[in-house]
A and B are shown apart, each in its own frame.
Chain A
Amino acid sequence: MKRVMWLALAVLCGCGRPQQAGKQERQVVIGVSLLNMANEFIVTLQAAMQERADELGVRLIVNDAQRSPERQVQQVETLIAQRVQAIVLNPCEVEASSPAVLKARAAAIPLVNVNSETAAQPAAFVGSRDEESAELAMDYIAQRLGGVGGVLMMEGYMGQAAQLKRSAGAQAVLARHPGLKLLASQSAEWDRAKAVTLMENWLQAYGPSIRAVFAQNDEMAMGALLAVERAGRKREIVIVGVDAIRDALQAVKEGRLDATVFQDGRAQGRGAIDAALRLSRGETVDPEAWIPFRLVTRDTVETL
């Protein structure tokens, strides 16, 4: 890559031919606004986008909205002003981030939503169906328990799209298995430390009737795991998380965590850049590209 640039530069200096310079300028620039770079999954997503962009010789301008939809809209406005050829949006919020989509549409810049949705319709969407992750996890629990036993569910921040969808997915599976009893469901706000505390309290409140814990993300699953292990009850309790973060995969490998659900951030990131590049060239793409979830257990963890 670098060598190519040097070559181009040498040609440029040596011959001073303007059309060569024109080729340089036409490098595609894609603007990206991400939900929150303090989140490991988003970091994975971003790394995959960068990797794909480098492969394709595309330049990325990456912004971190730090969970603020307002900031996200401003960032997209700035990207539009910079005349980027395409935008990849990782929305903060269903409604509040929608103006960003509308503004890009008005400026005739193709915009791809990645990982989560907005109310406004983007040019393309690349992501996974959040309900599916909870369904996979809960099905696994049902299978491990033989359809009978007490289950606890740790929820994310109440009212967030991921929490709502993962709860819905889990409830759908529970409805199919009348033998599974939901003992309690509480929010640990996606947070490992809060999950430790909540699990400690649950162990007191529900004692031996707990057979499984479904945590809506791996951070909370890791917290629950710590509390259960400290109470010396891991052998009786199945714990499943979602997201397949590094810690969780390690724990699955070690046989401590029973399972997690892999949301293929890498495929989403790469897919989003592919779609954005094709749209910027005026090609058509699939308006909704669903990247499937995968259940990760000790048997399958090596295949990732």
Chain B
Amino acid sequence: MLDNEKHAAVLEACGVGKSFGGVRALRDVSFDVRSGEVHALMGENGAGKSTLVKLLAGLHRPDAGTVRVRGRRVVFRSPHDALRRGIVMMHQELMPVPELSVAENLLLGREPRGRLPGTIDRRALRREARRLLGLLELHLPVDAPMRTLSVAGMQTVEIARAIGANAAAVIMDEPSAAISEREVQALFRSIRTLKERGTAIVYITHKMDEVFRIADRITVLRDGERVRTDRADRFSEAGLIAAMVGRELSAGRLRARTAPGERLLELRGLSRPGAFHDVSLTVRRGEIVGLAGLMGAGRSEVAAALFGLAPAASGEIRVDGRPVRVRSPAEAMRLGIGMVTEDRRGSGLVPLLSVRENITLAHLADCCRGPFIRRARETDIAAQAIAANGIKTSDPDQAVEQLSGGNQQKVVIARTLLGRPRLVILDEPTRGIDIGAKRDVHALIAGLAERGCAVLLISSELPELMALADRLIVMRQGQVTAELDPCTVTQEEVLSYALPV
């Protein structure tokens, strides 16, 4: 099928599968990387790229399928196991020892021994460090503490370390995410050096241009499955995007534009130092406003301020035209604001409580007479919410942690809607849930607007925002940079306002 059959696979995954708490992250994926090759792994957030490389690097163990090194089946019990077989992983968040010197980090675990047992030959250590950096034509101060280096500097040290360790395969998880274009060029030079030495490289990235510059082969994952593996020159940019996004993109908008109602929420010059600055926006009844931007652009922080989780320092919030102060979630709820928080496991669900108890948690008073819970009423209310939100559970008394990710998310939404909010804030409501559940959640959100609810939707998936929102507000580094019409704008345009300058 492929031309370079002469190269044997150095590292390979055969039909691997992996689930986390009922959520399938990978299903029957096969993937291999050969000596002297850069194999790029692409896909949207949550497509399963990180899970796959974590299986290859011994951070997770597959539920199904096998991992092979040079054709021999291996079972990694730990990342250390993988390291011993020459598999090196460079993490998104690099983990060097910041207080040790560059040379010490380079040769960590392989220090040249001194004459006395247990000592280190410092001269040899620095000589070897200089030699490794020289291979990459780098001139870093070997005695400087690691923490003084830039991210790019740390990356090159990691690469040099992989060379020093005679790594068979190096896995790079978005190495270019946090470095400048000039540094990317230096990174690519280092990668080429690695290639020439016969190392196999797995390279994860989101950036189109990079992929075609560096990759020999590309594998696209979508929703935990492999969509296509081919030589890089056989992909067109459009074809690559189509493979990543799938048919969903062409499905287009999920709802008709509605006539905007009265203004329900207005923010004027809302600021919180270090989080967001001078944010003004309006949400009307029956309208879905999409908040676009990269992670860390301040979208979740604005939502937290609106819901009283982390109040703003200055600026004004108006509900129904009247200025209000929101100092706690309880106050927000009294004003008719409901929120589905980002990260349902972190701040949404109480995992050990049952589905019923999680649904009624925020509005337990509705099921009570005085402080006493009326069990029958609670059961009724929970049953209605389960039906209304399409939660699939065998029993309302099931522990919520046993549900799939999508159903867990619906539980959080059901809880929020129980208070009949007039404004609903949803922060990443479809992150990490499967396609079916995603569709259900989209329908729930559209239904909310239809019933006259004002909706503020935060999502990192642009297609989702463009399919649902009536207006798009883009944030970058804590500030609003654009207000766009999702029906006419392209993804690239939105990104141009979201990407840091």
Q: Do chains A and B touch in the complex (CB under 8 A)?
A: no
What residues make up the interface of A, taking CB atoms closer than 8 Å to B? none
What residues make up the interface of B, taking CB atoms closer than 8 Å to A? none
